[in-house]
């Protein structure tokens, strides 16, 4: 394990329909393209695989000494406040030599809110049928 090597664990809710995951897979693909030296894994809370334990283990096995966990949730609701912290604590216990950094929900980032506002406003300038 390289204590200086970062990894990124993107964590989304999950859904029964696998097509739901396409935007999240695209986010992971874009991150990997922009930072090819940094291992990236996408995990789900429910319905889809892998779960956070499996994705976290894969990153630890790749030698990541510091793993950034980014909840791909629009807000910091019940899942982010109640469900995610115990899962991260399990990762910390299972991989004691790894630093697990849990970040706020991505939707609470100003740049994401601005991007959603701009994308919404773009509909008003689009030609209507």
Structural domain range at position 32:
2-125
Whichever domain contains 115, its CATH number is 3.40.50.1400
Tell me the pLDDT band of 25, cut-offs 50, 70 and 90.
very high
Buried/exposed code over 86-104 (b: 16+ C-beta within 10 A; e: otherwise): ebbeebeeebeebebebee
pLDDT in tens, 31-72: 999 999 999 999 999 999 999 999 999 999 999 999 999 999
Question: How far apart are the C-alpha atoms of 127 and 129, rounded to whole Å?
Answer: 7
- Collapse the DSSP code of 3 into the 3-class scheme (helix H, G, I; strand E, B; otherwise coil) and give the result: strand
- 47: Cα within 13 Å, side-chain hemisphere: 10
Considering its fold, how many domains does the chain have in total? 1
pTM over the 0.75 mark: yes
């Amino acid at each position: 394990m390289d204590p200086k090597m970062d990894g990124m664990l993107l964590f989304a809710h999950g859904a029964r329909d696998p097509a739901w995951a396409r935007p999240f897979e695209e986010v992971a693909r874009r991150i990997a393209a922009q930072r090819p030296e940094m291992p990236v894994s996408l995990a789900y809370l429910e319905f889809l695989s892998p779960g956070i334990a499996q994705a976290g283990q894969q990153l630890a096995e790749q030698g990541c000494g510091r793993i950034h966990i980014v909840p791909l949730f629009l807000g910091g609701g019940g899942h982010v406040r109640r469900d995610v912290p115990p899962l991260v604590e399990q990762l910390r216990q299972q991989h004691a030599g790894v630093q697990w950094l849990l970040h706020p929900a991505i939707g609470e980032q100003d740049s994401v809110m601005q991007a959603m506002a701009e994308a919404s406003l773009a509909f008003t300038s689009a030609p209507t049928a």
